[in-house]
Amino acid sequence: MGGFEGGDEGGYWDIDTLPASTNHVNTSKPDRRQSTIEKTDAGYSIKAHAKVNIFLKITGHENGYHTLLSRFMYVEDLYDTITFVPCECDTFTIEGCEGVPLETNTIYKAYKALNDHTGDLEILDFFYKHKVVVTKRIPSQAGLGGGSSDAAAFMRLVKEVCNLLISTEELAKLGSTIGADLPFFIYNYTSANVSGFGEIVEPFDEDPLSLELYTPQIGCDTTLVYKTFKEHLLNGISLASFIGWDQLDSKTLLERIADPIMLNDLYKAALIAYPELKNEAKEGWFFSGSGSTFFRLR
């Protein structure tokens, strides 16, 4: 996996409010992180952290999408940085995502969605005066949610700097139109049970784990992995096999279930779609999302 930098912890704005607690498990202490929004001479910036899926179980298939139950956990020391840098721009400009065409960039999709939803001229005006600079550290097609995290962080930063009157819940709903993983990143919890297509996010009260990641030089296409799951594995799902998992803390889950294939339904699908992944699998490592990242406790 490519190297990544640790974060400096100074000078963040403490601007997030606590989330509404209805329909959330562990409401006594929802662990929503403070926004890591920073204002420097370079402009406004925010960290977009990676996630891993501690477990991921497919629960069904509706309207072309799979429903799932998954424990998402953010990764403290792996993040992209998104900065709004002052400049005179003729059009919406993103730097740092070379190789990703503008129209397909999740950040651009988030910009369009926010514009369409709010009709707020302030956003248009702001991006004539600022460009978006992305420092990419999260590997792509790696099951770490990089594109989704970038888009969610972008939306959270726009909400703050343009003073948008939109609730976090509305923002998460808007985000889910861009990608299934966005709501988790918009709520900004360190750990959560995620269900539905990814739009139901319930904070799970636990200390984040210190994780070691290994991303092989194999890009896993999420669409292909889900398609492979549907063709080969969907008929075999057993909802009874993971009852209660959402109540167990992540460390206990990894220690007690231990089998990476059982923990993540998409692992088997990824192995079918990308047989070369088998050569990268090592004893004691787990598989994140649709791959190709493996992780273990440090």
Ligand X SMILES: Nc1ncnc2c1ncn2[C@@H]1O[C@H](COP(=O)(O)OP(=O)(O)O)[C@@H](O)[C@H]1O
Question: Which residues are annotated as catalytic?
Answer: 51, 181
How near is the Cβ of 177 to ligand SUD at its closest, in Å?
9
222 sits in the region (left: phi over 0; alpha: psi -120 to 50; else beta) called alpha
One-letter identity of residue 151: A
Under the binding rule (CB under 6 A), the answer on residue 146 touching ligand X is: yes
Q: Is 145 annotated as a binding residue?
A: yes
Interface ranges with ligand SUD (CB under 6 A): 53, 56, 65-66, 68, 143, 145, 148, 179-181, 197-198, 222-223, 226, 266, 289-290
Which part of the chain contacts ligand X (CB under 6 A), choosing from 124-132, 146-154, 155-163, 249-257?
146-154
Query: How far does CA 157 lie from the centroid of its chain?
Result: 16
Comparing CB distances to ligand SUD, the nearer of 19 and 143 is 143
Among 58, 100, 178, 273, binds ligand X (CB under 6 A): 100
Under the binding rule (CB under 6 A), the answer on residue 186 touching ligand X is: no
Q: Is 217 annotated as a binding residue?
A: no
Under the binding rule (CB under 6 A), the answer on residue 143 touching ligand X is: yes
How near is the Cβ of 56 to ligand SUD at its closest, in Å?
6
Residue number with the shortest CB distance to ligand SUD?
289
How near is the Cβ of 194 to ligand SUD at its closest, in Å?
7
Task: Copy the structure tokens of residue 69.
Answer: 């139950």
One-letter identity of residue 22: T
Strand bridging mode 191-196 / 94-95: unpaired
Comparing CB distances to ligand X, the nearer of 19 and 226 is 226
Among 70, 190, 215, 222, binds ligand X (CB under 6 A): 222
104: partner contacted, choices ligand X, ligand SUD, none (Cβ within 5-8 A by kind): ligand X
Among 150, 206, 246, 280, binds ligand X (CB under 6 A): 150
Q: Is 238 annotated as a binding residue?
A: no
Nearest to 263 by CA among 84, 76, 69: 69
Among 75, 144, 164, 182, binds ligand X (CB under 6 A): 144
Under the binding rule (CB under 6 A), the answer on residue 183 touching ligand X is: no
Q: Is 149 annotated as a binding residue?
A: yes
Q: Is 28 annotated as a binding residue?
A: no
How near is the Cβ of 36 to ligand X at its closest, in Å?
18
234-256 burial, b if ≥16 CB within 10 A, otherwise e?
A: eeebeeeebeebbebbbeebbee
Nearest to 206 by CA among 254, 171, 242: 254
Under the binding rule (CB under 6 A), the answer on residue 148 touching ligand X is: yes
Under the binding rule (CB under 6 A), the answer on residue 264 touching ligand X is: no
Comparing CB distances to ligand X, the nearer of 141 and 190 is 141
Strand bridging mode 130-135 / 94-95: parallel
What residue numbers does the annotated binding site for ATP cover? Answer: 139-149
Binding site as annotated, residues: 139-149
User: Footprint of ligand X on this chain (CB under 6 A)?
Assistant: 97, 100, 104-107, 140-148, 150, 222, 290
